[in-house]
Structure 1
Amino acid sequence: MKNLLSTALFVLFFSLAFQVQAQTPQFPIVKGFGGIYEIPDATERPDGTLEYKILVDLTSPSEDNKQISRFVDNVARMMNLHGLAGVTKDRLKVKVILHGGGIFALLNDENYKKRFEVENPNLKVFEALKAAGADVMVCGQSLIARNLKTSDLWPGVRVAHSALTTITTYVPQGYILLKF
């Protein structure tokens, strides 16, 4: 009986492990970044018929500056999760405002390398986010506080007057605020 139970548990464990490993990450909206997985048992999903307006307030610095910031990649994941549920790119309005310690993820390769001794791994993610329709902005006040100029940054970013006023501008327009 003990052997039968052990064998059954062994088979169950490896069949579950195989099912998890068998899935390949998907990138329905942001190509190559923010990989996500289908969850067949999910009963709570985004409504593919709605328009989603999302403002991401990204202040968290990278945990490892030699790797893609999980906070930047999480923007791509969020967009891809909506896409996997049937929300089309034209119904997904995403704005990202970086400020505080998060702005260093926007440094161009030259300035990132001076600061962290590697090229900026986040720039490819920002390019993919922009190609997917995300509007990436940086807080002008944070730039001044950190003695940075627009020319120090990835050229695809827009400079906002401030993160605070960006939030107070878009939330009344129906954007939901997510904090990363």
Structure 2
Amino acid sequence: MKKALFLLLLLAATPSISQQLESGTVIPEYGKTYPIASPEFKTDTNAVLKVVFDVDRSFKALKPNALIETAARFLNMHEKAGVNSENMKVALVLHGQSVNDVLKNEYYTVKNPGVSQNPNLKLIEALSKNGVEIILCGQSATHHKVTREKASEHITFALSAMTALVQLQNDGYQLIKF
């Protein structure tokens, strides 16, 4: 039921076929977006946009996790709309199956036979270099045997996803859950 609703919402939000995805300037390799001419709901380009993405799933082992890439889309899209990068505070909280997406190549390939490298590592590095805080649930990490030694150096461990989500929301971050 959730997948059907998600697909229906995705189709309803899909721009016309003539529009092409465009790269952004914040993280050009990731997070392409569609240009939207003259939206009626105006983007407040002076606001500080504090957002936390709740990422709990993983998808195809050969491609970057689309939920992680959402942070790049957010940055690229809002920068194009005129929001100063200093006014965008972005965090990702990874838990559940998504904790495997932060594994260094040698550990990722063991969990994903036939895959030569973790496609998420370059994305995670690019996000981190652009100020995105990437937080890993310590509970999920421990359950899935993802240790600090096995994980990307661009992530931070938390006691739990619940802890990180509550604290970030207490600090004014708005939760986005797909």
- Displacement of 1:31: 2.8
Query: How do 1:52-91 and structure 2 match up within 5 A?
Result: 52-62=49-59, 64-91=60-87
The question of 1:42 aligning with 2:39 is answered yes
Query: How do 1:1-180 and structure 2 match up within 5 A?
Result: 19-20=18-19, 23=20, 25-62=22-59, 64-116=60-112, 117-118=114-115, 119-180=117-178
What one-letter code is carried by the residue in structure 2 that aligns with 1:157? I
Q: Is the 8 A contact 1:45 1:85 kept in 2?
A: no
Q: Give me the whole-angstrom Cα distance separating, in 2, the residues matched to 1:127 and 1:45.
A: 31
Q: Is the 8 A contact 2:31 2:73 kept in 1?
A: yes
Structure in which a larger fraction of residues adopt helix: 1
Q: Give me the whole-angstrom Cα distance separating, in 2, the residues matched to 1:46 and 1:24.
A: 19
Q: Is the 8 A contact 2:51 2:173 kept in 1?
A: yes
Question: Gaps spanning 5+ residues in structure 1: where?
Answer: 1-15
With normalisation by structure 1, the TM-score equals: 0.83
Q: Is the 8 A contact 1:47 1:85 kept in 2?
A: no
Q: Is the 8 A contact 2:26 2:75 kept in 1?
A: yes
Q: Give me the whole-angstrom Cα distance separating, in 2, the residues matched to 1:37 and 1:178.
A: 19
Q: Is the 8 A contact 1:89 1:133 kept in 2?
A: no
Q: Give me the whole-angstrom Cα distance separating, in 1, the residues matched to 2:29 and 2:44.
A: 24
Partner of 2:6: none
Structure 1 counterpart SS, 2:149? helix
- Displacement of 1:24: 5.6
With normalisation by structure 2, the TM-score equals: 0.84
Structure 2 counterpart SS, 1:97? strand
**What is the count of residue pairs matched by the alignment?**
161
Question: Gaps spanning 5+ residues in structure 2: where?
Answer: 1-15
- Displacement of 1:148: 2.1
* Deviation readout 1:104-153 (Å, 9 max, x if unpaired): 11111111111113200111111111121101110111111112211111
Structure 2 counterpart SS, 1:144? helix
Q: Give me the whole-angstrom Cα distance separating, in 2, the residues matched to 1:99 and 1:61.
A: 10
Q: Give me the whole-angstrom Cα distance separating, in 1, the residues matched to 2:158 and 2:128.
A: 16
Q: Give me the whole-angstrom Cα distance separating, in 2, the residues matched to 1:129 and 1:138.
A: 14
Across the aligned residues of Structure 1 and Structure 2, the Cα RMSD in angstroms comes to 1.6
